[in-house]
Amino acid sequence: MTTRGGLGSMLTAGQTLYDRYQLQEKLGQSAGRQTWLALDLNTQSEPIILKLLAFGDEMQWEDLKLFERESQILRQLDHPRIPKCRDSFSIDDRILWFGLVQDYIAGTSLKQFIQDGKRFTEEEVRKFAIEILEILQDLHQLNPPILHRDIKPSNLILSKDEQIYLIDFGAVQDRAPVEGGTFTVVGTYGYTPIEQFGGRAVAASDLYALGTTLIHLLTGTAPADLPQRYLSIQWRDRVTLTPTFADWIDRLAHPDVEQRFQTANQAIQALQLADVSSFHAVERPKNTRVQLQRSKKRLEIVIPKQNQEEESNFELLGLMMAGVGLPALMFALPMFMLLLVLGVVSSAAWILLFALMVFLVFISPSFQRTYVKFDRKEFVVETQRFRAMSNRMTGVTRHIRDVRRDQGRITITSGPYRNGYHLHQFGEELTDFEQAWVLKEIRSWLKLKSD
- Other CB atoms within 10 Å distance of the CB of residue 356: 10
Beta strands in 132-209, from DSSP E residues, in sequence order:
156-159, 164-166
Q: What is the 3-state secondary structure (H, E, C) of 59-99?
A: CCHHHHHHHHHHHHHHHHCCCCCCCCEEEEEEECCCCEEEE
Give the C-alpha separation, 47 to 208, whole Å.
33
CA–chain centroid gap for 272, Å, is 14
Within 173-248, strands assigned E span: 228-229, 232-233
Contacts of 202 (CB under 8 A, 6+ apart): 147, 195, 257
8-state DSSP, 158: E
Residue 32 in contact with residue 54, Cβ under 8 Å?
A: yes
Contact 99, 90 (CB under 8 A): yes
How far is it, in rounded angstroms, from Cα 317 to Cα 311? Answer: 10
Count CB atoms within 10 A of the CB of residue 78.
8
Measured CA to CA, the distance from residue 446 to residue 449 in angstroms comes to 9
Can 237 be counted among the known catalytic residues? Answer: no
Q: What is the largest CA-CA distance in the chain?
A: 119
Task: Report the relative pairing of strands 2-3 and 16-17 from DSSP bridges.
Answer: parallel
Reference 277, options 448, 133, 431; nearest CA is 431
Q: Which of 150, 168, 247, 402 is catalytic?
A: 150
Q: Where are the beta strands (DSSP E) in 131-283?
A: 156-159, 164-166, 228-229, 232-233
**80: how many CB neighbours lie within 10 A of its CB?**
9
Active-site annotation, residues: 150
